[in-house]
């Protein structure tokens, strides 16, 4: 039976991906510090082994019997990256490079680095994997540095792949309301209006959490010669949208009047992304829509399976809470 190590397995994407892997019959070694709680993952059984650990301290022996690694562990999003830039570099860059090297030394056959389309920064036109990058934040810069140090590790015996994920949305056991669509639904549900970062014309690509998890699984199952040493943008061309029209779409999807208020200075990030490569190489297509994702979150809030007031759902605020208690990121 094939075993995949998922770091950050208790996180927003990891808790969804882990369940999908288990449903497909994989053995999963789930690694996480569980700063947001252990309950984000199912109980251990013959298919799921859970290890509470920091990727900065993993040893080569941890990788024994592992066939592939999906290295999701990171301090997530731009505001969190600026909260403690030094630790962002330690975890999002140095620790993930170390994990990749340990995996290679231990004989693991495949390593997938989930990076971010945020490394494109602010640019005109539609950007593909060969386009120049323009990382504007610590989070984006650390992701790019990890890409640059990990891809050269690819050999005939070690398949190293990078994915640049669009902004993720959708419900998760470790819910995040600090992501654009998720936060819009929460704002409409709680206050009848949403705050929009000026001036609403900025572009973003989006992808549902189930769809980005499907892409990772597709890369696990693809012939290594087709994907090794390569970068794949993950998302859908038709989910490149501007923020103000997106807010209108979300309001329509959940059946509420469109009300909003501006905040902050004009956003310094704006980018549209091409997802042609992953479609051509893997035949990959997304299955979820922006409207469907918004409606799904709205239903979960109405049914109270998601708590809009859970402090853990706003990542940077939860990190600040942990720091105030004397914990280190």
Cα–Cα distance, 101 to 219 (Å, whole number)? 19
Of 139, 213, 151, 142, which Cα lies nearest the Cα of 178?
A: 139
Task: Encode pLDDT of 8-39 as tens digits.
Answer: 999 999 999 999 999 999 999 999 999 999 99
Query: What residue has token string 């990772």?
Result: 216
Bridge pairing between strands 48-52 and 3-7: unpaired
Domains delineated in the chain: 3-324 (3.40.50.720)
Whether the per-residue pLDDT at 262 is higher than 90: the answer is no
pLDDT band at 325; cut points 50, 70, 90: very high
Please provide the DSSP assignment of 205-241 as one string: EEEEHHHHHHHHHHHHHS-HHHHTT-EEEES-GGGEE
Mean pLDDT of the chain: 96
For the segment 250-258, the average pLDDT, to the nearest whole number, is 95
Cα–Cα distance, 14 to 31 (Å, whole number)? 10
Beta strands in 94-148 (DSSP E): 110-116, 122-127
The β-bridge partners of 19 are: none
* pLDDT the model gives residue 22: 98
Cα–Cα distance, 150 to 99 (Å, whole number)? 10
Whether the per-residue pLDDT at 1 is higher than 80: the answer is no
For the segment 262-284, the average pLDDT, to the nearest whole number, is 92
From the DSSP assignment, how many helices (H) and strands (E) are in the chain?
12, 14
The answer to whether the beta carbons of residues 79 and 118 sit under 8 Å apart is no
Helix axes 209-221, 14-23, angle to 10 degrees: 50
Task: Encode pLDDT of 38-67 as tens digits.
Answer: 999 999 999 999 999 999 999 999 999 999
Enter the tokens of residue 138: 């610590």
The answer to whether the beta carbons of residues 247 and 258 sit under 8 Å apart is yes
Cα–Cα distance, 69 to 161 (Å, whole number)? 10
Backbone angles phi, psi at 46, to 5 degrees: -65, -20
For the segment 141-146, the average pLDDT, to the nearest whole number, is 98
Task: Encode pLDDT of 172-222 as tens digits.
Answer: 999 999 999 999 999 999 999 988 888 899 999 999 999 999 999 999 999
How would you class 258 by CB atoms within 10 Å of its CB: exposed for 0-12, middle for 13-18, buried for 19 or more?
A: middle
For the segment 80-84, the average pLDDT, to the nearest whole number, is 89
For the segment 123-131, the average pLDDT, to the nearest whole number, is 96
With H, G, I as helix, E, B as strand and everything else as coil, classify residue 130: coil
For the segment 298-313, the average pLDDT, to the nearest whole number, is 97
Cα–Cα distance, 58 to 62 (Å, whole number)? 7
- Residue % of the chain over a pLDDT of 70: 100
């Amino acid at each position: 039976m094939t075993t995949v190590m998922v770091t950050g397995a208790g996180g927003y994407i990891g808790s969804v991906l882990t369940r999908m892997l288990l449903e497909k019959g994989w053995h999963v070694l789930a690694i996480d510090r569980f700063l947001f709680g252990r309950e984000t993952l199912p109980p251990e059984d013959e298919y799921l082994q859970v290890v509470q650990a920091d990727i900065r301290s993993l040893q080569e022996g941890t990788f024994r019997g592992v066939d592939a690694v999906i290295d999701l562990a990171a301090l997530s999003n731009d505001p969190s990256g600026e909260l403690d830039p030094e630790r962002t570099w330690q975890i999002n860059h140095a620790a993930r490079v170390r994990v990749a090297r340990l995996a290679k030394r231990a004989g693991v056959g495949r390593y997938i680095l989930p990076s971010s389309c945020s490394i494109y920064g602010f640019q005109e036109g539609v950007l593909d994997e060969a386009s120049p990058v323009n990382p504007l934040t610590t989070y984006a810069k650390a992701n790019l540095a990890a890409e640059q140090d990990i891809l050269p590790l690819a050999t005939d015996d070690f398949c190293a792949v990078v994915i640049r994920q669009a902004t993720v949305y959708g419900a998760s056991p470790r819910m995040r309301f600090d992501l654009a669509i998720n936060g819009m639904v929460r704002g409409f549900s709680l206050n009848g209006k949403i705050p929009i970062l000026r001036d609403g014309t900025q572009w973003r690509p989006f992808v549902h959490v189930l769809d980005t998890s499907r892409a990772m699984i597709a890369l696990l199952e693809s012939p290594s010669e087709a994907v090794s040493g390569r970068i794949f943008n993950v998302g859908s061309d038709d989910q490149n949208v501007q923020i103000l029209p997106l807010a209108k779409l979300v309001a329509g999807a959940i059946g509420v009047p469109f009300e909003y208020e501006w905040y902050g200075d004009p956003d310094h990030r704006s980018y549209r992304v091409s997802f042609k490569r992953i479609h051509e190489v893997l035949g990959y297509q997304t299955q979820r829509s922006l409207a469907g994702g918004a409606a799904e979150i709205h239903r979960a809030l109405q049914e109270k399976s998601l708590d809009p007031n859970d402090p853990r759902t706003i990542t940077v605020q939860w990190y600040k809470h942990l720091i105030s208690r004397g914990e280190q990121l």
